[in-house]
Amino acid sequence: MTTRDEAAREAAALSEQLHKHAHLYYVLDAPALPDAEYDKLFQRLQALEAEYPELRTPDSPTQRVGGKVLDGFTKVRHKVPMLSIRTETDITPGGASAFDARVRKELGLAEDGPQVEYVCELKFDGLAMNLRYENGVLVQAATRGDGEVGEEVTQNIRTVREIPLKLNGKAPPVVEVRGEVYMKRADFDALNERQREKIAAGQKNEKVFVNPRNAAAGAVRQLDPAIVAARPLSFFAYGLGEVTPASEGGPDCPTQFDWLQQFHAWGFPVATQTARAKGAIELIAFHENIGRQRDALPYDIDGVVYKVDSVELQRQLGFVSREPRWAVAHKYPAQEQLTEVLGIEIQVGRTGKLTPVAKLAPVFVGGVTVTNATLHNEDEARRKDVRVGDTVIVRRAGDVIPEVVGVVPESLAKPDDQRGPVVTMPHQCPVCGSVAVREEAEVDYRCTDGLFCAAQRKEAILHFAARRAVDVDGLGDKLVEQLVDANLIRTLPDLYKLGFTTLAGLDRMAEKSAMNLVDALEASKKTTLPRFLFGLGIRHVGESTAKDLAKHFGKLDAIMDATEEHLLEVNDVGPVVAQSLRTFFDQPHNREVVEQLRACGLTWEEGEPAARAPKPLAGLTFVITGTLPTLGRDEAKDKLEAAGAKVAGSVSKKTHYLVAGEEAGSKLDKARELGVAVIDEARMLEILENGVTE
């Protein structure tokens, strides 16, 4: 069983990975992780948070949909949040059966009770869109964004011919139709052929697109609608946002299937494969039938979606966290092929992660020719026992980074002296030579010199210049890439040595834009200690931790010189964060960057350390289990930690008190077995008020 501390470390690492890949997928349209791997990480984090609810933080990836609003578009707050649905990664028939069983349980249906009716739809691989119509006329189109706030892209969406500008027939005062903007495979191939012709003709800044999803998403986010009009986008309707109630003139659609028929009547395309199904057996049949058709479809899908058909039952089932209980996405197996491993190299990512990568004999899989595949990490490479010369199964899941699934039995059967060496990660970064470390309870090795390593340079600059850091307005991905590739920036202080003449001489940089950036760099010099600290990109140090550190120590020098023991005194700073801070500031290169930034004129207000409140429960460890009468677990945990207590996730000999509510379960048995004091909520509140009196 995972201890609370182990779970906390793993959850923190998972959160960081998921945030990073959500940013790549939703914001940059440059996914770097197969969907199957993302789902695995997400489900592992969900499992940890289910076991230890106190780890479920407001900024956890499980509490939000993902993505954020891009600069350049007007923000739109969705009247009805655009929530994502749960992904069932069990690709066997059991995935459909499990969903049906959960629905029946939530509805309180007996095993011999009536079957639940569902609507089965395709899971398109495109960009989710919310279309708002008032009195039948399209007035606004917005992307999902973070689920609450999206980007207005109305002018771009008007160029998509499959989306009606005016609804057919009688329309309600207000209705929001939701669906997927996508690109058909034939249209995508034709677009790429035109791109290749442009490149051959010497046109700069043109590129061949990776897949239809990226091409569609990138088109919608173009600031020039004329560019969007030149890209062949399509649309399928499948969902509903805000709508005028039937009592006030809106449609009366008691089922999801009725809504789909209404969308079609209004003039929207609805996938013809959509079907109704009763119970798990018919869900399974739909999944298998579409799976057989998948390669022949004119567009990409990566699964199907099941929804409870009755709108009333949907209301009864409601939502859990970020997902509706009445819907699920059921995926298909990723495509796989066999090839040979020609070599294994260690690559350093933009965040310093060292990844073993298999160099492959070219193989066509998932629609492209693959020559590289990730081995993820040393443990995974050794678990699969991948070596040079092996014949391996390569999977291209999520249409992004191929992975080695495993080695064929014939290769594994060879004697060790006839196979290559076992994968071993280096203890020095192969790019900059700095120390590479593997933190406790983590699977990845990382370069420790984030401000010095060339592989991390672009990421470090973008992070430092971000809005929530020192905020250099106008310094985006493409400009940073150009500055780094031209060797104009090697470290962060080089930013403040850029002059107007240098900037104005860059490609696609007008004089006004150059002056604006010079002004933005100057303005960014006056910042705050938390922003500066966060901008340094220290592993595990987010905005909240940076604020806590600044408040606790008051001055940057005090933070840089603090021992791990002193760092652990800061609110929410545990051993992993303390070690990360010490590792960062123990690197001479990193301290030199800080001093150079100060010399460039970056300033912030500093003060005295915050007064330390008394901690009457310091040194005591509590565990909370079951349902308390008046307090939620998080609330109880906050109260105890504010008084200095440690709240653990499991009972051990070091536990002083178990706070037990209803349905306490195995933790109560464990406490009694170990002789741990068991108290109720009332006694806990008494201890909080008066301290320990016995």
Q: Is the pLDDT of residue 109 over 50?
A: yes
Q: Is the pLDDT of residue 368 over 70?
A: yes
Q: Is the pLDDT of residue 26 over 60?
A: no
- For 561, half-sphere exposure in the C-beta direction (CA atoms, 13 angstrom radius) is 6
Q: Is the pLDDT of residue 437 over 60?
A: yes
Secondary structure in 3-state letters for 495-512: HHHCCHHHHHCCCCCCHH
- For residues 555 and 202, the model is more confident at 555
pLDDT tens-digit series, residues 31-78: 766 766 777 888 888 888 888 888 877 567 775 444 444 456 889 999
Q: Is the pLDDT of residue 494 over 90?
A: yes
Q: Which CATH superfamily is domain 86-331 in?
A: DNA ligase/mRNA capping enzyme (3.30.470.30)
**What tokens does 42 get?**
């997400």
- For residues 67 and 573, the model is more confident at 573
pLDDT at 58: 57
pLDDT tens-digit series, residues 90-103: 888 889 999 999 99
Phi–psi pair at 593, nearest 5 degrees? -60, -45
pLDDT band at 616; cut points 50, 70, 90: confident
Q: Would you list the DSSP string of 276-327?
A: EEEHHHHHHHHHHHHHHHGGGSSS-EEEEEEEESBHHHHHHH-EETTEETTE
Q: Would you list the DSSP string of 320-367?
A: ETTEETTEEEEE-PPEEEEEEEEEEEEEE-TTSEEEEEEEEEEEEETT
- CA dist 368 and 683 (Å) reads 64
pLDDT band at 22; cut points 50, 70, 90: low
Mean pLDDT of 75-83: 91
- For residues 181 and 544, the model is more confident at 181
Q: Is the pLDDT of residue 158 over 90?
A: no
Q: In the chain, what are the domain boundaries?
A: 4-63, 86-331, 335-418, 448-612, 621-690
pLDDT band at 320; cut points 50, 70, 90: confident
Question: What is the average pLDDT value for the chain, to the nearest integer?
Answer: 86
- Bridge-based pairing of strands 117-124 and 301-308 is antiparallel
Long-range (24+ apart) CB contacts under 8 A made by 382-386 are: 382/422, 382/423, 385/412, 385/422, 386/341, 386/344, 386/358, 386/423
Q: Is the pLDDT of residue 29 over 70?
A: no
Mean pLDDT of 336-365: 88
Could you tell me the sign of the dihedral formed by the alpha carbons of 676, 677, 679, 685, in that order?
Answer: negative
Kindly state the DSSP code that residue 25 receives in the 8-state scheme: I
pLDDT band at 469; cut points 50, 70, 90: very high
pLDDT at 315: 94
Q: Which residues participate in catalysis according to the annotation?
A: 123
pLDDT at 65: 45
User: Helices 477-485 and 457-465 sit at what angle, rounded to 10 degrees?
Assistant: 140
- For residues 555 and 565, the model is more confident at 555
621-690 placed in CATH 3.40.50.20: no
Mean pLDDT of 646-671: 88
4-63 placed in CATH 3.40.50.300: no
**What tokens does 291 get?**
């799976």
Mean pLDDT of 371-397: 87
User: Helices 681-690 and 633-642 sit at what angle, rounded to 10 degrees?
Assistant: 20
- CA dist 422 and 30 (Å) reads 31
Mean pLDDT of 101-112: 92
pLDDT at 132: 96
pLDDT band at 266; cut points 50, 70, 90: very high
In angstroms, the Cα distances linking 574 to 82, 157, 431, 441, 544 are: 35, 48, 30, 14, 14
pLDDT at 19: 66
CA-wise closest residue to 622 among 656, 588, 593: 656
335-418: what CATH class?
mainly beta
Secondary structure in 3-state letters for 236-273: EEEEEEEECCHHHCCCCCCEHHHHHHHHHHHCCCCCCC
Mean pLDDT of 570-584: 84
pLDDT tens-digit series, residues 222-265: 877 778 878 889 999 999 999 999 989 899 999 999 999 999 99
Q: What is the separation of C-alpha 474 from the centre of its chain, rounded to a whole number of angstroms?
A: 24
CATH architecture label of 448-612:
Orthogonal Bundle (1.10)
Residue written as token pair 């070219």: 362
Q: Is the pLDDT of residue 518 over 90?
A: yes
